[in-house]
Amino acid sequence: MMAAPPTRKTMVPEGARLVLKPVGYIVRRSSRADDLSIINGARASFAKHKADLGPEDVLTPEAADEQNRHLAPGARPVQAGLLYRLLGQGHETPCEQHGLLVMVRDAPAALRNLVPDEIDAEHHGDRVSFPWTPNFRHAMTLHRRARRSGERDVVAIASALLLRFHEQGTEHGTSAYLRSAGMTLDMLRAEAEPGLKHVDVRANPPTEADCVRAIRDHLGARVQGLPDADVVAYAARHRPLLLNLWVFTWQLRAIIHVFWDLVRHRKSSPNGESGRYSVLMDEWIALDLDEVRTQKGHPLSYERGVAEPAMAQEFIDDLNRFNEEGVRLYRKWVDRKVAREMASWFETLAKFRTFVWTFRGLGLANMVGLRNHPTALHELRLYAAEMEADMKREAPLLHQVFESDLHRHSA
């Protein structure tokens, strides 16, 4: 029920599930660790989502320099690929939108203190073993920390993990990181050689069956003979960090109010459509009369109701006028070349943005337990319900322990 049509319409992705009319949707994306996941994590908006990499994504700085040496007069200089520019400027959040299941075996115990994540580790004297689903940012951070520690056997394990990402398809990401560290791929291989036997790739991305096998290998006799459902239940009760082996990635288009309430769940890796690099679409939420809520009472114990039709219509009319004026001012100052991120200050909480969001099992269970609940805000619950449906379909054993052993919040 917009008073004026938006300047540009969102292309709703194929297979998307509409959540909020007219353009709120959710899409389950692959959690595969490779260069493409970094690019799509950076681009965030569906309009720029890619099925394949192009030169604009992975052109090396050397290749860009070579093309610029032969540039025609007046031609626009060629830039290095987006991936090299991102990591060269320290923008690493897009490197969190995936997961690579690995098993680290018989590593030096000192490694445990450097791992930038919550893991379930088995210690045997001065050695440690653990399954892990790191993202590429984890691998880069661990490698930096290991090199600062100066412990060669720890550096070997961290280098081996980085090399495993390279072998799995994060070639340009690894190359960009190594450039920033003043290293070459040959140097990394030499550092990693003693550690390769300690780092095995189990799956990219992991399925539920892959996660269960990794837990069995890790816990050994403690779960021997148990059916898969009981293995996951044992982990939930006694070793809950093992549930972080599961990984899920979505692309969502939501109003900014919903976006921030979801991002508050810190056990996740969101990366949103940028108002700095993109011109934003002129779309805000449309409401029917029966969707306007009232609130009475104390903020922590208030009662909700439905607004009277006349009041609801007045609210909707004011909301549309407010958003129309925000769009007008945003476009005015974008056209006059004020910095886009400053022009976006005219955006309202009812405007739509797109973002990519990756969760692992334990954080996802916490989020849907709170947000797909009768007391949750309606707009949040619509998204959480779709996420839980994906969880139930793709990871039924994880969902089963979420309903029981993880003590889902009751109505």
List the one residue out of 127, 133, 139 whose CA is nearest residue 87. Answer: 139
User: Going from the N-terminus, what domains does the chain have, and what CATH number goes with each?
Assistant: 32-70+77-205 (no CATH), 249-403 (3.30.1360.170)
pLDDT of residue 410: 42
Q: Tell me how far apart the alpha carbons of residues 154 and 392 are, in angstroms, rounded to a whole number.
A: 38
Strand partners, 271: 356
> pLDDT category, 374, cuts 50, 70, 90?
confident
pLDDT of residue 47: 64
Of 281, 369, 342, 242, which is closest to residue 47 (Cα–Cα)? Answer: 281
- Say whether pLDDT at 375 is over 90: no
Which pLDDT score is estimated for 6? 47
Per-residue pLDDT tens digits for 38-78? 999 888 765 678 889 999 999 999 999 999 999 999 899 99
d(CA 87, CA 94): 10
| CA distance between the termini of the chain | 32
279-328 pLDDT, tens digit each: 888 899 999 999 999 998 887 777 889 999 999 999 999 999 999 999 99
- Residue 293 backbone class (left: φ over 0; alpha: ψ -120 to 50; beta: rest): beta
Quick: pLDDT tens for 189-244.
Answer: 999 999 999 999 999 999 999 999 999 999 999 999 999 999 999 999 999 999 99
Q: What is the pLDDT of residue 130?
A: 98
- Are 172 and 58 in contact by the 8 Å Cβ rule? The answer is yes
Q: What is the mean pLDDT of residues 3-31?
A: 79
Give residue 3's pLDDT band: very low, low, confident or very high (50, 70, 90).
very low
What is the 8-class DSSP label of residue 73? T
The DSSP H or E segment spanning 122 is strand 122-124
Beta 268-272 vs 127-132: how paired, if at all? unpaired
**Mean pLDDT rounded to a whole number for the chain:** 91
Report how far residue 61's alpha carbon sits from residue 79's, in angstroms, rounded to the nearest whole number: 8
Write the burial class of residue 274 (CB in 10 Å: 0-12 exposed, 13-18 middle, 19+ buried).
middle
Q: Which residues of 45-84 are buried (b: 16+ CB within 10 A; e: fewer)?
A: bbeebeeebeeebbbbbeebeeeeeeeeeeeeebebbbbb
